[in-house]
A and B are shown apart, each in its own frame.
Chain A
């Protein structure tokens, strides 16, 4: 279980203040909000890539930031927004890097480690790409490989930074479907940042609406995705349609 208790971080005139939530095993929490609202900052602060002001993140009751990077990597995986490395490593080489925390400085991965990486590639249906250069993958494939790399860490907590950015419709659905399945099957507590309220509502157990570095609302999708809250967070007129028990969040457009 991941608990965030009063996370605050400031940098220049931007600050994130008093973020609190908890994510149980198998649950997905989405951080939802406009650009520049501090979603990624919150995610990076949870992992300790940015240093929050006091101890505030606990994984299974342990103070997460008192652990070394190595120990943190064994508990939590971070899936960054993908970018290209300078060299075209194969997909398998990239996934096996997730085992860095389990290898000493003088060690290189051995057969058993490559097997483990291959297993995780199979789990997300990417094993046929194992020898392909990572730099030649499409956006959706890159995202899945980065998820596989986080999975070989066998994390209890998974943090995903905009896993659907730059993906087409099909790949958005595919990637989020896999995240949801993994959270349930592997009992992972997942936190992700998203842009699309509809996707957040479909794939999350909890949503935190973020505006200007503060959480404005936190709860189950159906409880908090309300017109007036969304309008306040996003600053645009919004209407919500109910259809077969789904809530569709749409911008109010002036149709000519």
Chain B
């Protein structure tokens, strides 16, 4: 049963992917969508083959569906679905990694100051009317915030769990105050877009955002996946040195990877809370703390959860509900239920 559930969750993003492509304001037959995706994939592969074999098209793939179908699927829904999935994976896996290396079940990647930094960057771009600058500025300030947090937390060459949390609180407070100041000084319609951005949304997803975010997040998740067993060892703190692990170097590598994938996520879709805390805990409660299974499951469950939540966000009402609100409302009852049922799956 557990084995079955494990395999199901591992492949769940595939189901979530098609369900999410299917649901939307414009109705299309489900199998038309599956067919279109398969044919499109073949079309791309044949295109690539043609390119590397100097222009000979081995097989010509036609997609026999109305162009309105293709526009909706490939221009609107597909980039949004992909972005939601990779961001879900990135936020969830970052939470799992930080909880292990700082031996603290209560941290997620926002503790590094990323969200507050990104929020300030976005508010600055909106305030200065740089609509194209939102993503770059959010990213730049997210990275700056992580840099400030980790340098503040470094005491005698080491980052301890407590110093990191404290430094994170300081940096978060600082950037939050700056953001509040900007909001105070802003005109009303700009204030509205800052507030909306802060709630998180995938509504602006397009192929450009996928092209930037996908390589970063994919590579980051791959590296974390490969290094996942080291997290078991790192969660033992100083004892990790006694079995021959260079703890400081390894922690540093993990923090860099996590900062990049979280900052990219936040820069494109605002602040989506709770996923980084909730998904690793849910997986841990169901399958135990061994990071050999925890990390791959966190990646896939994070993707599935986020894309399904986003599908709900854009389809349950006539207007779109901000995803950040929905992830919290959806996730919390389930999280609370698991907490009561399993006693947490960690040791306080």
Interface residues of A (CB under 8 A from B): 47, 49, 68-74, 77-78, 80, 84-90, 93, 97-101, 103, 105-109, 135, 149-150, 153
Task: Point out which of B244, B246, B290 has the most chain A C-beta atoms below 10 A from its C-beta.
Answer: B244
Contact indicator B105/A69 (Cβ below 8 Å): no
B190 adjacent to chain A (CB < 8 Å): no
Chain B residues lying within 8 Å of A84, measured Cβ to Cβ, are 347
Partner of B246, one of A47, A69, A88, A149: A69
CB distance from B286 to the nearest CB of A (A): 13
| Tally of contact residues, B, Cβ under 8 A | 33
Contact indicator A80/B229 (Cβ below 8 Å): no
Partner of A90, one of B100, B250, B288: B288
Assembly CA distance A153 to B233 (angstroms): 14
Assembly CA distance A78 to B228 (angstroms): 24
Contact indicator B245/A87 (Cβ below 8 Å): no
Q: Quick one: closest B residue to A99, CB to CB?
A: B243
From B7-15, B65-73, B133-141, B234-242, the one touching the partner chain is B234-242
Assembly CA distance A57 to B346 (angstroms): 39
Assembly CA distance A47 to B284 (angstroms): 34
Assembly CA distance A73 to B232 (angstroms): 17
Name 4 extra pairs, CB < 8 A, besides A73-B244, A105-B226.
A47-B242, A78-B242, A85-B103, A86-B103
Contact indicator B244/A88 (Cβ below 8 Å): no
Q: Quick one: closest B residue to A159, CB to CB?
A: B242
Query: 29 A-B contacts, Cβ less than 8 Å apart?
Result: A47-B242, A49-B238, A49-B242, A70-B244, A70-B246, A73-B243, A73-B244, A74-B244, A77-B242, A78-B242, A87-B235, A87-B284, A87-B289, A88-B289, A88-B346, A89-B232, A97-B232, A100-B230, A100-B245, A101-B244, A101-B245, A103-B229, A105-B226, A106-B227, A108-B229, A108-B292, A109-B229, A135-B347, A153-B244
Q: Quick one: closest A residue to B243, CB to CB?
A: A100
Q: Quick one: closest A residue to B284, CB to CB?
A: A87
Contact indicator B345/A69 (Cβ below 8 Å): no
Contact indicator B243/A86 (Cβ below 8 Å): no
Q: Quick one: closest B residue to A76, CB to CB?
A: B242
B104 adjacent to chain A (CB < 8 Å): yes
Q: Quick one: closest A residue to B292, CB to CB?
A: A108
Q: Quick one: closest A residue to B226, CB to CB?
A: A106
Chain B residues lying within 8 Å of A150, measured Cβ to Cβ, are 242
Assembly CA distance A85 to B236 (angstroms): 5
CB distance from A69 to the nearest CB of B (A): 5
Q: Quick one: closest A residue to B230, CB to CB?
A: A105
CB distance from B11 to the nearest CB of A (A): 21
Contact indicator B232/A93 (Cβ below 8 Å): yes
Within B185-231, which residues are at the interface with A (CB < 8 Å)? 226-230
CB distance from B226 to the nearest CB of A (A): 4
Chain A residues lying within 8 Å of B236, measured Cβ to Cβ, are 85, 97
CB distance from B19 to the nearest CB of A (A): 32
Contact indicator B242/A88 (Cβ below 8 Å): no
Chain A residues lying within 8 Å of B232, measured Cβ to Cβ, are 89, 93, 97
Contact indicator B243/A97 (Cβ below 8 Å): yes
CB distance from B283 to the nearest CB of A (A): 12
Assembly CA distance A109 to B228 (angstroms): 11
CB distance from A83 to the nearest CB of B (A): 8
CB distance from B264 to the nearest CB of A (A): 23
Q: Quick one: closest B residue to A87, CB to CB?
A: B289
Contact indicator B244/A100 (Cβ below 8 Å): yes
CB distance from A132 to the nearest CB of B (A): 12
Chain B residues lying within 8 Å of A78, measured Cβ to Cβ, are 242
Contact indicator B242/A73 (Cβ below 8 Å): yes
Contact indicator A88/B233 (Cβ below 8 Å): no
Q: Quick one: closest A residue to B104, CB to CB?
A: A86
Contact indicator A72/B347 (Cβ below 8 Å): no
CB distance from A213 to the nearest CB of B (A): 22
Chain A residues lying within 8 Å of B245, measured Cβ to Cβ, are 69-70, 100-101
Contact indicator B347/A105 (Cβ below 8 Å): no
Chain B residues lying within 8 Å of A85, measured Cβ to Cβ, are 103, 235-237, 347
Contact indicator B239/A80 (Cβ below 8 Å): yes
Assembly CA distance A103 to B245 (angstroms): 10
Chain A residues lying within 8 Å of B227, measured Cβ to Cβ, are 105-106
Assembly CA distance A85 to B105 (angstroms): 11
Assembly CA distance A163 to B41 (angstroms): 61
Chain A residues lying within 8 Å of B103, measured Cβ to Cβ, are 85-86
Chain B residues lying within 8 Å of A90, measured Cβ to Cβ, are 288, 290
**Given contacts A49-B241, A86-B103, A88-B347, are A97 and B233 in contact (CB under 8 A)?**
yes
Q: Quick one: closest B residue to A135, CB to CB?
A: B347
Within B240-294, which residues are at the interface with A (CB < 8 Å)? 240-246, 250, 284, 288-290, 292
Contact indicator B290/A153 (Cβ below 8 Å): no
Q: Quick one: closest A residue to B246, CB to CB?
A: A69
For the complex of A and B, list the 7 residue pairs with the smallest distance between their C-beta atoms, beginning with the closest: A73-B244, A101-B244, A87-B289, A78-B242, A108-B229, A106-B226, A70-B244
Assembly CA distance A69 to B236 (angstroms): 16
